[in-house]
Amino acid sequence: MNKLALVTLLVAGSAFMGAPLAHGQNKKKPVSKTAPVSKEKKPVVQEKKAESQVKDTVVHEEPVEEPPVKGVLLADGFTHMESGLEYNVVRHGTGKRHPHIGDHLEMHVHLHIKDSVMFDSRKMNSGNPVPFQVQPASFRGDFIEGLMMLVAGDSAHLRLPVDTIIKQNKQLMPGMKAGEVLEYDIVLVSVMSRSEYKKDQFEKAQKESKIEDSIFTDYFTRNNIKPQKTASGLYYTISREGTGELPKPGQVMSVNYTGRFLEGKTFDSNTDPDFHHPEPFPVPLGRGAVIKGWDEGLALLKNGTKAVLYIPSGLAYGSQGNSNIPGNTILVFDVEIVGIKTQAEHDDKLITDYIAKNKIKAKKTESGLYYRIIKEGKGDLPTKGEKLSVNYTGSMLDGHKFDSNVDTNFHHAQPLEFPLGQGVVIKGWEEGLALLPKGSKAVFIVPSGMAYGVKGHQESSIPPNAILLFDVELLDVKKP
């Protein structure tokens, strides 16, 4: 399912927000206790198309800024930038300033290689421009460099040789090959500073809130419903009170739910077989993994509770909507809390289920790490401060690989070297590798609390609270 999960598209390594679903994506690179992932690699691309008509362009009154970077004009009209990215403005808009880091943009974007379309925002967002907050470029040639050369109203073509990405050891999107050229077609609809955007969103939300509150009042009167209302504007009714204490932030709630529009049409459910995902939905409470209305509403419900949440659009998917949910749409959720666990308990259940399903014989440490030794090495166990050399492949429990130095698709073939016990890698690696003598091969199943936790690792497409599986080989152990 994952209509309640955060939708993040990776645009040439940059976080591209399609709809304001949940919050909590980590936009900063984890510091220190990060990963067995090489710092050089970040997932690359998925993107866009653009052309014609531009509506509601935001025009700034200050003088037109000079482009932030100079380039060399080519014979075909493109400007070649030092990074390797090339751009051509085919129609000039009326904007006065170029985007800056932190600005909020709206745009149409289309990414393709020859005739193969990799991303089309018009199709994704029903013809509407998609929002995007400008982040620092994550590699040389990132399309963000091209965006910063435009002003509101511009239509432009960008192109970047795939070889430029490969030379920087970046992960390629499936279908990308050496010698090909990524082509972006962009229409930059609007540019707002953070303060302008904040003011604009506040004014729109205030206006929409008054309209929706009137709709709620009418709906509750007609249907003889007497809900409770929170300070934020969330309405709810409880049909069956659960038992025990209220859930705490960080605990994982297992939820059965049906989501519907106010007029009654169901758009998602894990109890309706027509939606083909019957498992209870796990929600780490208060972590921004779901829409605000869920985070707030579920915090009011004990285990076993049945309730209905009436969620205004500002606490749901806002003005942008999501997938089959239009913007500014009130949502109603019938929910039942069927379990409340700590994140560690939830992870352990998922891991034990995985082990049983795959008939794996694994040992468990006191901290919750599971491991299986495939080949026993020789010699003493490594100690703190010794330099380890490791081959590895990292994947999710569903088999999706996110990093490897032995898989050529990840373009970094050197073993990973680091001192043990210095916090350079995740806790699961620190503990697991200390159990292996030189020459060992093993599999680690790392609970989220010993991996990237609630932040995840955006550069490697690892979501928050993800359990990770690593195939490792300890090649060498050197004294400090």
Same domain, 155 and 22: yes
| Residue 417 shares a structural domain with residue 293 | no
Given 317, 371, 402, 444, the catalytic residue: 317
Span 136-195, pLDDT tens digits: 998 999 999 999 999 999 999 999 999 999 999 887 877 788 999 999 999 999 999 999
257 is catalytic: yes
The span from the CA of 84 to the CA of 161, in Å, is 8
Q: Is 268 tagged catalytic?
A: yes
User: Domain boundary residue among 325, 341, 357?
Assistant: 341
pLDDT of residue 154: 97
Residue 231 falls inside a structural domain: yes
Does the active-site annotation cover 291? yes
Amino acid at 328: N
Strands, E assignment, 61-138: 72-73, 79-80, 86-91, 104-113, 116-120, 130-133
d(C-alpha 312, C-alpha 288), whole Å: 17
- Which residues, including other chains, have CB under 8 Å from residue 404's CB and lie 6 or more apart? 392, 393, 394, 410
pLDDT averaged over consecutive 10-residue blocks of the chain (480 residues)? Answer: 30 32 31 34 32 40 64 94 96 94 96 92 88 92 95 97 91 84 96 95 91 96 98 97 96 97 96 94 93 98 98 93 90 98 96 96 97 96 97 96 93 94 96 97 98 91 95 96
Which one of the listed residues 219, 261, 267, 275 is annotated catalytic?
A: 267
Is the same domain home to 294 and 425? no
Q: Which of 308, 297, 293, 298 is nearest to 260 (CA)?
A: 308
Q: How many residues does the chain have?
A: 480
Is 184 one of the catalytic residues? no
- Catalytic option among 143, 197, 257, 392: 257
- Residue that terminates a domain, selected from 139, 164, 192: 192
Q: Is residue 468 part of a domain?
A: yes
Residue 100 resides in a domain: yes
pLDDT in tens, 325-376: 998 999 999 999 999 999 999 999 999 999 999 999 999 999 999 999 999 9
User: Residue 235 contacts by C-beta under 8 Å, 6 or more apart in sequence?
Assistant: 216, 220, 227, 228, 229, 309, 310
Write down the catalytic residue from 103, 142, 268, 403.
268
Range of 354's domain?
A: 345-478
Q: Are residues 291 and 361 in the same domain?
A: no
Do residue 465 and residue 365 come from a single domain? Answer: yes
Q: Are residues 154 and 276 in the same domain?
A: no
Domain boundary among 318, 341, 364: 341
CATH code of the domain covering residue 62: 3.10.50.40
Closest-CA residue to 260 (of 246, 274, 244): 274
Q: Name the domain count of the chain.
A: 3
User: Which member of 16, 78, 119, 333 is catalytic?
Assistant: 333
Domain assignment present for residue 2? The answer is: no
154 and 268 housed in the same domain: no
DSSP 42: -
pLDDT confidence of residue 170? 83
Residues facing residue 9 across a β-bridge: 16
One domain, residues 243 and 219:
yes
φ/ψ of 366, rounded to 5, equals -60, -30
Do 379 and 312 share a structural domain? Answer: no
Distance of alpha carbon 464 from alpha carbon 451, whole angstroms = 10
Examine residue 3 and state whether it is found in any structural domain, yes or no. no
- Look at residue 41 and tell me if it is in a domain: yes
Same domain, 281 and 323: yes
In a domain, 368, yes or no: yes
What are the backbone angles phi and psi of residue 432, rounded to the nearest 5°?
-65, -45
Residues 233 and 125 in one domain: no
Question: Is 1 within a domain?
Answer: no
Do both 256 and 380 map to the same domain? no
Instruction: Give the distance between the most distant pair of CA atoms in the chain.
Output: 77
Per-residue pLDDT at 64: 60
